Amino acid sequence: MDSEATRPLSITDRYKAMNVSQRYWWKVVALCFFGWILMYADRTILNPVQTQLAAQFHISNTQLGIVNSIFFLTYAITQIPFGMLGDKFGRRLVIMIGFVLFGIMTFVSGIVTGFAVFLIVRAIAGIGQGSYYGPQYALSTEAIPTKDLTLGTAIINSGMAFGTSGGYLLSSNLVLQHGMSWQTPFYIMSVPTVIVGILFYFILKERVIRPEDQGKKQEKKEVETPTEKVSVGSLFKNRNLVFAYIMCFCSIYANFVIITWLPQFLQVERGFKGTSVGFIASLVPWASIPGAILFAHIYDKTKKTKALMFFLVPLSLISVFGIAFVTNKTLLILVLIVYGLTGKLAIDPILVAFVTKNAPKASLSTALSAYNFIGMSGSILAPYITGWISDSFGSMKIGFYLAAALLLVGMILFSFTSDKNNVNAA
């Protein structure tokens, strides 16, 4: 007689399990969405007020770039360790600890009075944020039905857009428009960050079985035992994963040139002032929401990774080039909207689905953390290099042109991938 643990579910039980799982995966999507809002708002509240920060600490654009680069350095190097810890000890626990840490450090960022200490605090905040990417996407990938995976990921990623815009608007309105101190947005952001981190631990569950997996035979489940786990190094023997990682790097480099320097570029080189700086800069994240959801839906229907990438990346690189090239304000606004529709947030859900298809399931959190580690290396380099270019040449334009060139390189390399599932290559 079959044991209770291995007996197939009845039609009624399977229907009930499916309804519960459907309600649950939308809960996962919602909480992960809010997590990204707080992550990106914390990153962007600084960018509209960099001039005030530079005046207080008496620093150059290159040093301003270091502030963001040191944050993303610690964020990037902790990706793989946190992914491995999430696989071993629980993803909810890792996320909660990370969010509490970076929430506290966000508050402390507004207290410190010396530039060196400020750098240290931002570095620790980056460590806290490093806990999120791999464990979060492992949780959501396991919970979202396969047929809705890319769409669900796009909805989660749209939190990045809301957070980016929210950070811009919060700082530009409070500081540039109403004259408050640049520290105020940091105080405001710290409290909800800690609260959401705690909610992750108490609301979500580990390793959820999706509806389409209910009732499968035990021998099917044995495929995903811990013996399937592979070393980090072996992930880089998979050509599909390697070129996806490089494409992610190029996409994120361009995105963080825009996220970090667009507000100051608009003020210094295009003449925007006050709240309009935050509003115009917010056009990119707002446009990215419908773009990400639309192209994720198309991907879920077609599963044509390369076809979509060859459509999105050329438009993205042309728009990045155009941000620096055009001088007409109306045309600049149009270019920013095009980048939002086709840029990083539209590309990322497709790449995440591609990595998920090509990564060993038992090491999914680690593979996704490696993906984000390589990608976020672009966020380390972009702020510093663009700041150095601005100090050296008196303009940020070359920094935008470089970002466009990297997108071209990433697109060429990604052309050597295959849409076929290549998981066994790892």
**pLDDT (tens digit, 9 = 90+) per residue, 15-29?**
344 444 667 888 889
- Of 4-13, 233-242, 348-357, 389-398, which range is least confident? 4-13
**81 Cβ contact partners less than 8 Å away, ≥ 6 residues apart:** 130
Give the pTM: 0.72
Q: How many CB atoms lie within 10 A of CB 301?
A: 11
Among the residues of 205-238, which ranges form H helices? Answer: 218-221, 232-235
SS3 state at 229:
coil
Alpha-carbon separation of residue 282 from 74, 181, 258, 325 (angstroms): 26, 21, 11, 20
Structural contact between residues 243 and 417, judged by C-beta atoms closer than 8 angstroms: yes
Token pair for residue 422? Answer: 């290549």
- Of 143-152, 165-174, 286-295, 402-411, which range is least confident? 143-152
Whether 409 has a pLDDT exceeding 90, the answer reads yes
Distance CA 164, CA 170 (A): 10
Distance CA 400, CA 396 (A): 7
Distance CA 115, CA 106 (A): 15
Intra-chain end-to-end CA distance of the chain, in Å:
39
* Interval 333-341 mean pLDDT: 92
Residue type, 90: G
Confidence of residue 261 (pLDDT cuts 50, 70, 90): confident
